[in-house]
Chain A
């Protein structure tokens, strides 16, 4: 029966976190019930203060087979990491 319901991705903002984080997915007939189900399935241990649900179909994902062209070019560009700056001692920890 659940296969007739669309899949939803659930994002929860935790007690101390600023960002909503993906926590999992569930089935529900519509957005209102997806929220209720998310409350019951993913916030049982007081995990959240806010819930987002998004239809899985509405998420456009990068393809795993594009991993090479998409991400590998960044590997060799260490100058993009801010590790070449001398930080004066009195700045402290950044």
Chain B
């Protein structure tokens, strides 16, 4: 498996699984305005998935489409970061996950706009506009709810405590990352940590939330070792294509 293919799966699977998670809120969010906003973000992410996985199929050269990759792979072949498969929890948990992800996503996409691979740079430029708005929204809400009522503060702090150990995986380098960095396709994940901290830490401080001191990071998603949650997501997402192969809309 080429490093570039692997990288495209990591990008596309991460946006796909988070997009799916957010879509689970559709019709259930606390207010109509948030319901629509979450669905919009979900659709943005699914749209980006089509581009990343579409290119992945092209790079692989075995004739697989974005849909084939999304619907016909098993959990161990998925390369998404673990944080995006975390259950939605309450609204605060979903927002916190979104905020921690968005802050990484924006930095990653910014760096990718300078990729040595023009196709990657092009997708990143398009996705960056969407991600910039996502981050604006999620950081705003995290600050409001963190620095809100006693209950909203308590929920946001609990969400931060639970999700913090899953954020670290986004900044771990492996051999694939090093190969991609060498060829100028993508930045080493570790290089984004300082820029991520520069966004996340001041926002959390403003939200009166305290990140855990530990830097312990759950990891494995980016090489196909997932939590039990991914299987359930795929069961729901892939059911139709698995039960009725090649069914079309």
Contact = CB atoms under 8 A, between A and B. Distances in A.
B88 interface: no
B194 interface: no
A33 B140 contact: yes
Interface in B27-42: 30-33, 36-37, 40
Contact of B33 (A32, A41, A44): A41
Contacts, number: 33
A40 B140 contact: no
A5 B31 CA distance: 10
Contact of B36 (A2, A28, A33, A40): A40
A28 B136 CA distance: 16
Contacts of B140: 32-33, 36
Prevailing SS type, chain B contact patch? helix
B205 to A, nearest CB: 20
A85 B30 CA distance: 60
Given A32-B140, A36-B137, A44 B40 contact: yes
A37 interface: yes
Contact of B37 (A1, A2, A36): A36
Contacts of B144: 29, 33
A40 B40 CA distance: 7
A75 to B, nearest CB: 41
A1 B40 contact: no
Most buried by B among A1, A28, A36, A40: A40
A45 B31 CA distance: 21
Contact of A27 (B33, B40, B136): B33
A57 B118 CA distance: 51
Contact count band on A: 10 to 19
B31 A1 contact: yes
A27 B31 contact: yes
Interface string B142-169: 0010000000000000000000000000
Interface in A1-55: 1-2, 5, 26-29, 32-33, 36-37, 39-41, 44
A2 B32 CA distance: 8
B133 to A, nearest CB: 8
Nearest to B33: A37
Given A32-B140, A33-B140, A40 B30 contact: no
A41 B136 CA distance: 16
A28 B36 CA distance: 13
Given A32-B140, A33-B140, A36-B137, A26 B33 contact: yes
Nearest to A33: B140
A32 to B, nearest CB: 7
A28 B33 contact: yes
Given A37-B37, A40-B36, A44-B40, A2 B31 contact: yes
A26 B36 CA distance: 12
Interface in B183-212: none
Nearest to B136: A36
Interface of B: 30-33, 36-37, 40, 133, 136-137, 140, 144
5 contacts: A27-B32, A32-B140, A40-B33, A41-B33, A41-B37
